[in-house]
Structure 1
Amino acid sequence: MINAFRAEWVPLLRRRFLVGTLAAVSAVAALGAVLTIFSAGRTDFDGDPVTVSMLAAPAGIAEGLESVTILLGVVALSVTAAALAGEYSRGTLRTQLIAQPHRLRLLGGKALALALFVVLVVAVAAFVAVSLSFALAPVKGVPTDQWRTWAGMATVGRGLVNVSLGSLGYAVVGALAAVVLRSPAAAIAVGLAYALPVEMLVGRIYDPAGGWLPAHLMEIMAVGGTGHVTPWADAGLRVLAFCGVSALLTAVLFRRRDVTA
């Protein structure tokens, strides 16, 4: 499992893949920070007013990061699906199985490496969002004194943990789609189609379903439960159950299905 963990970092750290991923999350985080700071004195997507005093509070330092949690989840799903499904499409999985015939150990090492990579990617996004928020706050007259307090730093820490947990939930969806479909393009497309338009449509048609739909629950976790009816703890338990079932299905399929390419 340790060897599989180390080996998985080779493709993850390839220059094109790494630079592309970090550029994407940095752009997403920058977008969140810019839109959040420049929303002062206006209304947000839901029509609620955004005031300077709200952004100046300790919690305001994490608003830029938390505003783009869905996009960061999309990145986590895409990275995981591309990494795992790519092993099937390139035919490299067969070679890996020769070196490590114990499939669950191989999958466990890959999953651990991908999970750590997702957390590191979220950390980069948090750094970009927080740094840019500090830089742009004076433009809109947002005081940053409260952001520099222990309460502000604690908010950043909680935000980093919550967004990481939500993104890891998306990564589980990407892993399941990758093992089922064995094609990076198909896995990403199907995973995103379910997580975004399908759940959005179901939630609009039947509002109570929002408290049980996995992607919606991951969003609740990522923002710490703020603005949602379902408590953070309840959302976490339901996401944990969903991820447990998904991980079990992924492990069973990975272990039992033949690798023909």
Structure 2
Amino acid sequence: MIDAFRSEWVPLLRRRFLVGTLVAVAAVAALGTALTIFSAGRTDFDGDPVSVAMLAAPSGVIEGLEAVTILLGVVALSVTASAIAGEYSHGTLRNQLVAQPHRLRLLAGKVLALVVFLVLVVTVSALVTVGLSFALAPLNNIPTDAWLSLPGLAEFGKGLANVAFGTLGYAAVGALAAVVLRSPAAAIAVGVAYALPVEMLVSRIYAPAGGWLPAHLMEIVAVGGNGYTTAYSAAGVRVLVFCGLAAAVTAVLFRRRDVTA
């Protein structure tokens, strides 16, 4: 498992992949932060009022990141699906299985590396959000004293943990789609299609379903339950159950299905 963990970092740290991923999440974080800061005194895209007092609160420093959790989730889903399904489509998985015939250990090492990588990516996004928030706040007369207080640091840590948790939920979707479809393009397309338009359509047609749909629950967890009828604790438990089921199905398919290329 340790060897699989180490080997997975080779493609993850390739310059094109690493720079592309970091640029994408930094751009997403910057967009969310800028839109959030300049929404003060107006309403956000959901029509909810955004006040200067709300952004000046200790939790205001992480508001920009929480505004784009869905986009960060899509990045995580794409990274995971590309990394795992790419092993099938490029024919490298078969060679890896020769060196490590214990499939579950190989999968565990890969997944652990991806988890660490995605947490680091979310952390970079959070740092971009914080830096840009401090830079833009004076332009809209938003006090930042509370952000540097102990409650502010606590809110930052809690917000970062929630966003990382929600993001890893999307990664579970990407891993499952990758093992089922074995093609990066198909896994990303199906995963994103389910997480965004399909769940959005279902929840709009039948609102109570939103409290049980995985991607919707991941969004609730990522923002700490703020603004949702489903409680944060209930959403967290349901996300853990979904991730456990997704992991179990992924492990069974990875272990039992033949690798022919």
1:149 and 2:149 aligned: yes
In 1: Cα distance, 2:237 partner to 2:250 partner: 20
What is the letter of the counterpart of residue 96 of structure 2? Answer: Q
Task: Note the C-alpha offset of 1:46.
Answer: 2.2
In 2: Cα distance, 1:50 partner to 1:33 partner: 13
Could you list the runs of 5+ residues in structure 2 that have no partner in the other structure? none
What is the letter of the counterpart of residue 126 of structure 1? Answer: A
In 2: Cα distance, 1:130 partner to 1:165 partner: 19
In 2: Cα distance, 1:214 partner to 1:116 partner: 22
* Aligned-residue RMSD, C-alpha: 0.5
In 2: Cα distance, 1:254 partner to 1:83 partner: 14
Aligned residue number for residue 180 of structure 1: 180
Task: Note the C-alpha offset of 1:237.
Answer: 0.6
> What are the residue-to-residue correspondences of 1:22-171 with 2, within 5 Å?
22-171=22-171
In 2: Cα distance, 1:52 partner to 1:256 partner: 55
What is the letter of the counterpart of residue 217 of structure 1? Answer: L
What per-residue deviation string (whole Å, max 9, x for no partner) do you get for residues 191-234 of structure 1? 00000000000000000000000000000000000001111110
What is the letter of the counterpart of residue 67 of structure 2? Answer: S
In 2: Cα distance, 1:63 partner to 1:100 partner: 44
In 2: Cα distance, 1:60 partner to 1:13 partner: 33
Task: Note the C-alpha offset of 1:51.
Answer: 1.3
Task: Note the C-alpha offset of 1:48.
Answer: 2.0
In 2: Cα distance, 1:48 partner to 1:105 partner: 47
Q: Which stretch of structure 1 is more off in the superposition, 206-215 or 36-45?
A: 36-45
Task: Note the C-alpha offset of 1:2.
Answer: 0.3
1:7 and 2:33 aligned: no
In 2: Cα distance, 1:25 partner to 1:253 partner: 31
- Which runs of structure 1 show a deviation greater than 2 angstroms over 4 or more consecutive aligned residues? none
Partner of 1:142: helix, strand, or coil? coil
Could you list the runs of 5+ residues in structure 1 that have no partner in the other structure? none
In 2: Cα distance, 1:152 partner to 1:131 partner: 14
Percent identity, please: 76
TM-score in terms of structure 1 length = 0.99
